[in-house]
Chain A
Amino acid sequence: AQSVSQHNHHVILSEAASLELGCNYSYGGTVNLFWYVQYPGQHLQLLLKYFSGDPLVKGIKGFEAEFIKSKFSFNLRKPSVQWSDTAEYFCAVNARTGGFKTIFGAGTRLFVKA
């Protein structure tokens, strides 16, 4: 069965620090990968997605993620975080062979100190 693991449940950073959130998935076939953000009191927003092609994906708000197939990983990065990046971040995966059901990781709660 598909599963998604996010290694960090809570991350606290100071502004301007670099961010890397880990995500590993368990699935043998061709997958589509996503990172979503949920700001306090708001609904999910798509940060970036990977379907195929260049494994380094750039998203909105300066975020990027790298798909490493051999490691089943899709880590999210940002060189310099801002206070406004305080939110919860979810990694997600789906695949045609799984009926395109999107499975979410447990989420990482990021708090950026001003």
Chain B
Amino acid sequence: GAVVSQHPSWVICKSGTSVKIECRSLDFQATTMFWYRQFPKQSLMLMATSNEGSKATYEQGVEKDKFLINHASLTLSTLTVTSAHPEDSSFYICSASEISGESYEQYFGPGTRLTVT
């Protein structure tokens, strides 16, 4: 199946700094990528939809100026957490999609664990 990678797999940063997380589709072109966050023992919550070459669409309650998303190519999307705070500590997961007619499947990356100290 299709493979999605994320880098880094974990990162620790100091409060106030910015962190960039990369999401790559390795063997297919993804016109759309999604970013989720998962708090401990909770479900995945969709943060934003990232379309190649256009601005991301953010879910209600997600600060677009804090979570900057760039989808510069069909195989790469990046999420930058700006001015990170301890409450931003979470597991961030990206997914990339292949669409064929009405069928649609997302392939998930392994996630990035962010800890803000």
Contact = CB atoms under 8 A, between A and B. Distances in A.
Interface string A54-81: 0000000000000000000000000000
A24 interface: no
A32 interface: yes
B102 A30 contact: yes
Contacts of B106: 94, 100, 102
Contacts of A46: 105
B93 to A, nearest CB: 7
A43 B111 contact: yes
B44 A104 contact: yes
A43 B10 CA distance: 13
Contact of B32 (A51, A52, A100): A100
What is the interface residue range for chain B against chain A? 20 to 34
Given A43-B108, A44-B93, A103 B46 contact: yes
B8 interface: no
Contacts of A51: 102-104
B78 interface: no
Contacts, number: 54
Contacts of A99: 49, 57
Contacts of B25: none
B32 A102 contact: no
A16 to B, nearest CB: 27
Interface string A19-37: 0000000000010101010
B102 A96 contact: yes
A7 interface: no
Nearest to B99: A100
Contact of B108 (A30, A32, A44, A106): A44
Interface string B29-68: 0001010100001111110010000000100000000000
Interface of B: 32, 34, 36, 41-46, 49, 57, 93, 95, 97, 99, 102-106, 108-111
Given A51-B102, A99-B57, 16 more contacts: A32-B103, A34-B105, A44-B44, A51-B103, A52-B102, A52-B103, A94-B104, A96-B102, A100-B32, A100-B104, A102-B46, A102-B106, A103-B46, A104-B36, A104-B43, A107-B42
